[in-house]
Chain A
Amino acid sequence: MLLSMVLFAFATSPLGLLARREPRALVGWGLALLPFALFVVLCTQIPTVVGGPPIVETLSWVPALGLELRFSLDGLSLLFGLIITGIGTLIVGYAGAYMEKDIGLGRFLVYMFLFMGAMLGVVLAGNVLTMFVFWELTSVTSYLLIGYKHDYPDARRGAQHSLLVTGFGGLALLVGLLMLGAAAQQVGVPADQAYNFDTMLAAGSQIAQTSLYGPAMAFVFLGAFTKSAQFPFHFWLPGAMQAPTPASAFLHSATMVKAGVYLLARMAPGFGDTPIWNYTLVAVGGFTFAFGAFVAFRQYDIKALLAYTTLSQLGGLVLMIGLGGKYGAEALVTLILAHALYKSALFMTAGIIDHETGTRDLNRLGELRRLMPRTMVIVGIALLSQMGIPIMLGFVAKEWALKAALESNLAAPWPMVGLAAIMVAAICYIIAAWRFFKNAFLGTAHPDVLQRNVHDPKLAMLISPAIPALLSILLPFALPLVSTFLSPAASAVYGQSFTFDLYLYGGINQALLLSLGAIVIGGALATQERRLASQRIIASISGAQLFDRLIEGMLAVATGMTRQIQSGRLRTYVLYTVLAFFVFVGIPFIFYGLGDVRTIQNDTFYFYEVVVIGLIPVGVIATITARSRLGAIIAVSMVGAMMALVFVLFSAADLALTQLLIEVLSTVFLLFLFSVMPARFRNFSPTWVRWRDAVIAVCFGVLMSGLVLASVSTTLFQPLAPYYLEQSVPGGKGANVVNVILVDFRSLDTLGEIVVLFVAVLAIFGLLRFRKQRNDVRPSGRTLQTILPGEAGFLTGNAAHEGDSSTPVGKAKENMP
């Protein structure tokens, strides 16, 4: 059932395209039936989950990597699942009305449905790798939604930031999860189960002892913090407000951003309660909680204001997990529910205000109480819940958060840190809420507002925020029911099954007093909201700009580096390549190969051998120092001729013949080519370059000689050559063993070499003829020069061919008795 739910969400996503047609509002609500169906199915599972163990389903996917499609439904998954599908239903209907005039609604809804499937996958996954698969999909769909209006640079920028930050976090998370899996295998969990949540968490205390635990947690935290917009990765979330409001309300307040929190909550029973865990989460969560709230009330854009309270709230959730204990778990799940309800209502009403008045700027609104009374009521209720005013769900949640801090078992300063963060946030929320409400609904209207015919939207749009707002006020009257529903979720976070009871009034106690105190202080400060907002204290910290700088800096480094490396000059490339050869081969040779270099035992040289070999360096030096091309050609032929003589001296007549042929041919080619070039060489390089090149060339030669000496002098094994001699006549029917090797023993090589020649002919003929036909050849005088590369290819191909096949043959010959 769980698997089919996720598949259903993905499979039905193309249906979103139906919303390309009119009437979009109606189609939107029709399509909202899809998530609603999932919502109903999940609701039917409440009794099973409340009473019993989690429902688990598995389907094999990539067993070799420990990745199976494993889904499990327990209290925590159920809570998230219901929020996703429930709010999803409202949002899809809302989107139909909100984007009634937008032709792209179809595409938008497809992304939304894909996202919903992915998000369901994240919260239902029972295998960390399965979860990761869906986790990445939420990042990608979020990217597409933020960049929905991609004609605008801001939308592209916001989308890119969100994807880079969450994608970076995703990769960190993957590394962290794989480390946890590796650690699980180290402590004896079988490989095929190492990535399942339940087995991993069961082995949690042992994993925490391994050396991998620390780095793994660091990477998991990176993943969770980026996804849930914790400081200092928070900046992508306000940028994500470029998305159309339905997407912001759904992804960036109610669901996706809570994925990080979900993951931490899910891991808490196994990996929680270690110093790394508690202190990191309390510090980061607490800071984000206070920081977000503090920045929130300074915003002018309603959506930005809501975005900052959202990231603050996410910090609060992380803080609860960090504080731990039963109260922490209880506060966490209550906060999640309360926040999802009021924040989605607020976002949707923000969208309504934007839709009706054409602006979200608090300075350009006012007096909407007269024009949009119904909207005002919804906003008012949701804001009361956000502020934590008594009898709202938010009030209950806040009180539990205070209790979690007061009752925490952590070492001395940490509970106080948490408490301080909660108080700061609670006070700032009140200021922010008041700022929103006062500037939008009270006071006198801005002229822009009066010019438009502003009124409450139609019911299709208004009903979506109304439902969660009403739930925020109604649920406190059914707290026992809410408690039974939340208990399994809290149990999943705590790690042991327990039940708890939420209440509105449990007698006078510290938490209540602190809560009321925060309200009083907040109320007092709220009257000064304009003056507070105008103070520039930390507003200059803009993470988005810093991030842009970081990217620009990296791009500058990349450009500089690439320009250095990829200079475009062949001679530089060759130089680098030779230097690389020294690193790759020279250094190992010094370390490992020198020991194998032995002097050649047979040291009786004949006079003519010395002469022939001595003439080779003479030829080489003559080639280098030659002033005219003709001289160079003659000198280089001398080298070739001496090589041929060496072959003769070692009685390899056919090799000598081949070598001579090649020499003659290449001399002819060179003469032909040089006939169109200046007769004398010109010197373009400065002296130090020539000396540098000379040194490199000599080193290279020494290295190659060393290699040959070392390998020739270490023949460890029986040679194969006798076999060829023996089999040449009976098996190969030929007396010339070299020929038999070429055409029989290794005939496949020879066939290949013939093909090489064939390819060379084709390539060069095609190149030259096609060029001629295409008419884009340069004026006739230059054609011969630009042909050079082709000719060079032909030459080298030819020479390489003959050289190659001679090598094994030559070796075979040397080994002959």
Chain B
Amino acid sequence: MANHLFLPLISPMLASALALLFARDKTRMVARVIVLASIIFNLIYSIWLLWVVGNEGIQVTQGAGWEAPFGVTLVADGASALMLCVATLLMLVTVSYSFASLDPGYENFFYYPLLLLLLLGVSGAFLTGDIFNLYVWFEILLLASFGLMTLGGSRPQLEGGLKYVVLNLFGSTAFLVACGLIYGTVGSLNMAHVAERMSSVTNPGIVTVIACLFFFAYGGKAAILPLFFWLPTSYHTPPVAVTAIFSGLLTKVGAYSLYRVLGLVLQDELIRLAPFVLAVAGLTMVVGVFGAMAQMNVRRILSFHIISQIGYSLMGLGLASAIGLAAGLLFTAHVMIVKTALFFIGGAAEQVYGTGDLKKMGGIARREPLLSIFWFLGILSLAGIPPMSGFFGKLALLQAGINQGALLISVVAAFTGILTFFSMLKIWNEVFWKKSYGDMSKLPRVTPGLLWPGAILVIISFALGIGAGGLVDYSQMAGAQLFDRAAYISSVCGSNGCEAVVDLALR
């Protein structure tokens, strides 16, 4: 029993309630300290968890003490630990960027509690071992993200927020229906138990359809083609910090759930559906990047890239192998970091200029050399240029694809890279290299508070590239764990499996 798995859930839950009490002008610092303390605690915990999972294997605990297939189980394996760690790191950086960039009104109206609740939802989704419980965490993060997106209440925010919430609720409904159907068919919601029971179902049937339904539901959350409409329509409306953390977390939870539920629980169905998944992956990559090429606004370009990169995560899933999942996890972890960094840096430039319109910006390379250096390194990482972390994500994916003989998707993935680069260079050319048309001398300078959150993430991306050996090993361990149903089942239900537990209990 690894009861410590509850800690990363309790901490933001408590802290958000406490911070709520101090959400007013006079006690602002108290609230900030509480928020920071909670997130730092979670970060330390998640790093420790990485280490524990790496050394001791999968960590399991049972909610309310009911043995495995009957209660709600929390499980941390390599994939969960990795995602949890990256997500918490991003949250920490986001909070510090928010300190520097947001006006006080946000703080008084529960901005930080909502951020913590978002973290709660995300952490819960990463740690749960129960399909319906996953749904609950999804609801929390959906509502928290909706709150963050519309906080401020400007008209574009509300319009974007409406589309966001309606389309996401459609996905949630599909998720809920899928939960019901899988319960109706398999008779359990515990992931390990479902996986165990599913391994005895060999013929395609209604379960294949349910797997497709899960693919649709999580795919909508992950913004795959053609379910991504909610993303570019809403992501450029809220404050930069919000967009940045959304880009790092929201779609990635969807991708993670795809990995967890299709990659582990419904593995046979995934193998059956693999060509379809790969086709969607390829189309998502291409359409996303084409969308980015067509935009003339910093955050819109970055938003469309999120879609394109989800295609890569999906490619890892579609390879339907331990190595493929490992590569996909590596890529996803990398892109979470870099994408958030780029939103911060682009957002800092936007904040200085008061606009994100490429045509109106310019001259930042001369004016803000540090910001420019980090932006450039960031786009190198996004485009997968060594030695930044992006290269290794791409390399792992392409290698897995080519070694498995999935040549077409690998070639598409490779050449999408150059289009990504192209659309990012557009920002570089227009915002950084081009001469500014107007007089820039009266504009404010980028403060260190706006600069360093993005910079530190870029530095992390660089460090992950230099130290890629360890990261790749860890991701391969995580991928192997994710693909190994037997080991997962025995960690959750004991070495005889969940069915034995059920038999014993109902004898």
- Report whether A178 and B109 are in contact in the complex, using a CB–CB cutoff of 8 Å: no
Q: Any chain B CB within 8 A of the CB of A744? A: yes
Q: Which residues on the A side are within 8 Å of B398 (C-beta)?
A: 174-175, 178
Contact with A along B211-229 (1 / 0, CB 8 A): 0110110011000001101
Stretch with Cβ within 8 A of A (4 or more), from B28-36, B90-98, B201-209, B447-455: B201-209
- Report whether A718 and B167 are in contact in the complex, using a CB–CB cutoff of 8 Å: no
Alpha-carbon distance between A137 and B66 when the two chains are bound, in angstroms: 56
Stretch with Cβ within 8 A of A (4 or more), from B38-46, B242-250, B341-349, B421-429: B421-429
- Report whether A766 and B151 are in contact in the complex, using a CB–CB cutoff of 8 Å: yes
Q: Any chain B CB within 8 A of the CB of A763? A: yes
Alpha-carbon distance between A753 and B179 when the two chains are bound, in angstroms: 16
Q: Any chain A CB within 8 A of the CB of B354? A: no
Shortest beta-carbon distance, B253 to chain A, in Å?
Answer: 14
- Report whether A585 and B291 are in contact in the complex, using a CB–CB cutoff of 8 Å: no
Across the interface, name the chain A residue whose C-beta is closest to B20: A762
Return the contact of B210 from the options A175, A711, A749, A803 (Cβ within 8 A): A711
Across the interface, name the chain B residue whose C-beta is closest to A144: B376
Q: Any chain A CB within 8 A of the CB of B340? A: no
Q: Which residues on the A side are within 8 Å of B37 (C-beta)?
A: none
Contact with B along A728-771 (1 / 0, CB 8 A): 00010000000000001111110011011011101111111111
Alpha-carbon distance between A769 and B418 when the two chains are bound, in angstroms: 46
Also in contact, A185 and B403, with CB within 8 A (given A595-B205, A596-B206, A745-B71): yes
- Report whether B209 and A593 are in contact in the complex, using a CB–CB cutoff of 8 Å: yes
- Report whether B206 and A174 are in contact in the complex, using a CB–CB cutoff of 8 Å: no
Alpha-carbon distance between A50 and B159 when the two chains are bound, in angstroms: 73
Q: Which residues on the A side are within 8 Å of B502 (C-beta)?
A: 718, 720, 723
- Report whether B395 and A65 are in contact in the complex, using a CB–CB cutoff of 8 Å: yes
Q: Any chain A CB within 8 A of the CB of B410? A: yes
Q: Any chain B CB within 8 A of the CB of A707? A: yes
- Report whether A786 and B66 are in contact in the complex, using a CB–CB cutoff of 8 Å: no
- Report whether A786 and B114 are in contact in the complex, using a CB–CB cutoff of 8 Å: no
Also in contact, A577 and B227, with CB within 8 A (given A147-B433, A711-B210): yes
Q: Which residues on the A side are within 8 Å of B421 (C-beta)?
A: 163-164, 167
Shortest beta-carbon distance, B50 to chain A, in Å?
Answer: 17
- Report whether A711 and B184 are in contact in the complex, using a CB–CB cutoff of 8 Å: yes
Across the interface, name the chain A residue whose C-beta is closest to B296: A559
Q: Any chain A CB within 8 A of the CB of B415? A: yes
Shortest beta-carbon distance, B357 to chain A, in Å?
Answer: 16
Shortest beta-carbon distance, A584 to chain B, in Å?
Answer: 4
Alpha-carbon distance between A776 and B166 when the two chains are bound, in angstroms: 25
- Report whether A707 and B147 are in contact in the complex, using a CB–CB cutoff of 8 Å: no
Contacting residues of chain B (369-404) with chain A, CB-CB under 8 angstroms: 380, 383, 385-387, 391-392, 395-396, 398-399, 402-403
- Report whether B216 and A800 are in contact in the complex, using a CB–CB cutoff of 8 Å: no
Q: Which residues on the B side are within 8 Å of A279 (C-beta)?
A: none
- Report whether A592 and B206 are in contact in the complex, using a CB–CB cutoff of 8 Å: yes
Contact with A along B153-187 (1 / 0, CB 8 A): 11100110111011101101010110111111111
Alpha-carbon distance between A801 and B407 when the two chains are bound, in angstroms: 45
- Report whether A801 and B385 are in contact in the complex, using a CB–CB cutoff of 8 Å: no
- Report whether B177 and A137 are in contact in the complex, using a CB–CB cutoff of 8 Å: no
- Report whether B66 and A745 are in contact in the complex, using a CB–CB cutoff of 8 Å: yes
Contacting residues of chain B (92-148) with chain A, CB-CB under 8 angstroms: 105-106, 108-111, 113-114, 117, 120, 124, 132-133, 135-137, 139-140, 143-144, 146-148
- Report whether A722 and B209 are in contact in the complex, using a CB–CB cutoff of 8 Å: no
Alpha-carbon distance between A555 and B179 when the two chains are bound, in angstroms: 42
Across the interface, name the chain B residue whose C-beta is closest to A63: B469
Q: Any chain B CB within 8 A of the CB of A172? A: yes
- Report whether B124 and A714 are in contact in the complex, using a CB–CB cutoff of 8 Å: no
Stretch with Cβ within 8 A of B (4 or more), from A41-49, A508-516, A619-627, A790-798: A790-798
Q: Which residues on the B side are within 8 Å of A577 (C-beta)?
A: 167, 170, 220, 226-227, 229
Alpha-carbon distance between A705 and B414 when the two chains are bound, in angstroms: 42
- Report whether A576 and B229 are in contact in the complex, using a CB–CB cutoff of 8 Å: yes
- Report whether B144 and A136 are in contact in the complex, using a CB–CB cutoff of 8 Å: no
Also in contact, A749 and B136, with CB within 8 A (given A555-B293, A724-B70, A793-B165): yes
Q: Any chain A CB within 8 A of the CB of B197? A: yes
Contact with B along A264-280 (1 / 0, CB 8 A): 00000000000000000
Q: Any chain B CB within 8 A of the CB of A773? A: yes
Return the contact of B176 from the options A584, A591, A727, A803 (Cβ within 8 A): A803
Q: Which residues on the B side are within 8 Å of A172 (C-beta)?
A: 414-415
Q: Any chain B CB within 8 A of the CB of A549? A: no
Alpha-carbon distance between A162 and B167 when the two chains are bound, in angstroms: 42
Q: Which residues on the B side are within 8 Å of A260 (C-beta)?
A: none
Q: Which residues on the B side are within 8 Å of A568 (C-beta)?
A: 233
| A-B pairs, 6 with minimum CB distance | A763-B147, A771-B153, A752-B136, A766-B109, A150-B433, A789-B162
- Report whether A766 and B110 are in contact in the complex, using a CB–CB cutoff of 8 Å: yes
Return the contact of B429 from the options A160, A752, A778, A790 (Cβ within 8 A): A160
Q: Any chain B CB within 8 A of the CB of A459? A: no
- Report whether A581 and B216 are in contact in the complex, using a CB–CB cutoff of 8 Å: yes
Across the interface, name the chain B residue whose C-beta is closest to A140: B385
- Report whether B469 and A61 are in contact in the complex, using a CB–CB cutoff of 8 Å: yes
Q: Any chain B CB within 8 A of the CB of A683? A: no
Q: Which residues on the A side are within 8 Å of B328 (C-beta)?
A: none
Q: Which residues on the A side are within 8 Å of B213 (C-beta)?
A: 584-585, 707
Also in contact, A745 and B136, with CB within 8 A (given A175-B398, A178-B402, A789-B150): no
Contact with B along A130-147 (1 / 0, CB 8 A): 001100110010000001
Q: Any chain A CB within 8 A of the CB of B294? A: yes
Also in contact, A588 and B139, with CB within 8 A (given A63-B469, A573-B229): no
Shortest beta-carbon distance, B5 to chain A, in Å?
Answer: 11
Also in contact, A174 and B290, with CB within 8 A (given A140-B380, A744-B64, A811-B184): no
- Report whether B212 and A585 are in contact in the complex, using a CB–CB cutoff of 8 Å: yes
- Report whether B399 and A770 are in contact in the complex, using a CB–CB cutoff of 8 Å: no
Supply 29 A–B pairs (Cβ within 8 Å), ascending by A: A62-B392, A136-B385, A171-B417, A175-B402, A175-B411, A551-B422, A555-B294, A565-B226, A570-B163, A573-B229, A574-B167, A577-B226, A580-B227, A585-B213, A592-B204, A593-B208, A711-B206, A717-B197, A744-B66, A745-B64, A746-B63, A746-B133, A748-B72, A749-B72, A759-B117, A789-B150, A789-B159, A804-B135, A807-B179
- Report whether B209 and A573 are in contact in the complex, using a CB–CB cutoff of 8 Å: no
Q: Any chain B CB within 8 A of the CB of A156? A: yes
Return the contact of A574 from the options B170, B291, B503 (Cβ within 8 A): B170
Alpha-carbon distance between A592 and B230 when the two chains are bound, in angstroms: 30
Q: Any chain B CB within 8 A of the CB of A477? A: no
Q: Which residues on the A side are within 8 Å of B503 (C-beta)?
A: 718
- Report whether A704 and B177 are in contact in the complex, using a CB–CB cutoff of 8 Å: yes
Shortest beta-carbon distance, A186 to chain B, in Å?
Answer: 9
Q: Which residues on the A side are within 8 Å of B187 (C-beta)?
A: 715-720, 815
Q: Any chain A CB within 8 A of the CB of B232? A: yes
- Report whether A64 and B472 are in contact in the complex, using a CB–CB cutoff of 8 Å: yes
Contact with A along B300-338 (1 / 0, CB 8 A): 000010000000000000000000000000000000000
Q: Which residues on the A side are within 8 Å of B232 (C-beta)?
A: 566
Alpha-carbon distance between A555 and B71 when the two chains are bound, in angstroms: 53
Q: Any chain B CB within 8 A of the CB of A450? A: no
